[in-house]
Amino acid sequence: MLISHNTENVNIPSAGTVHSSGLDLKAIEDVKVEAFGTAIVRTGIVLEYLEPGFELQVRPRGGVSLKTPISIANSPGTVDNDYRGELMVIVRNNSDEDFHIGEGIKIAQAVISPVVYGSDVEIDITSKKNETDRGDGALGSTGK
């Protein structure tokens, strides 16, 4: 992965430990997230190159999820291999009070993950379904 930045006060993503799966993403400016609102947190990071067959996923940090009312709104957020804009984190405030994210705060983590690309397959929807034990049972249909 090759990254650059578009601001002077950027913090290059880094892993907390040698075995960390994710790279910490930090806010480059103060952000007010209104009660039950959604906001964009800028990181200043620009993805310049990512090996073909991989994506960058923006995921929550455990400590942020535990200690604040903030969650990643589209978790995990997918940054496509060919995206070249700034990495931004969409956060949601799950509280009835405004929440402030300070500049330099670790807000999310970036994880590089392989992608399996599908291909278009035409099927005949008028034919009988490929039956399974579960069938079309939806959420909770398999019990505990």
Residue in the structure block whose two tokens are 């909770």: 140
The domain limits of the chain are 2-8+21-114
Contact at 8 Å (CB) between 107 and 25? yes
What is the CATH topology of the domain spanning 2-8+21-114?
Answer: Deoxyuridine 5'-Triphosphate Nucleotidohydrolase; Chain A (2.70.40)
Q: Both tokens of residue 25? A: 């993403």
List the pLDDT tens digit at each of the 144 positions of the chain: 666 656 666 667 666 767 667 889 999 999 999 999 999 999 998 888 888 999 999 999 988 988 999 999 999 999 999 998 899 999 999 999 999 999 999 999 999 999 988 888 777 777 666 777 777 777 777 776
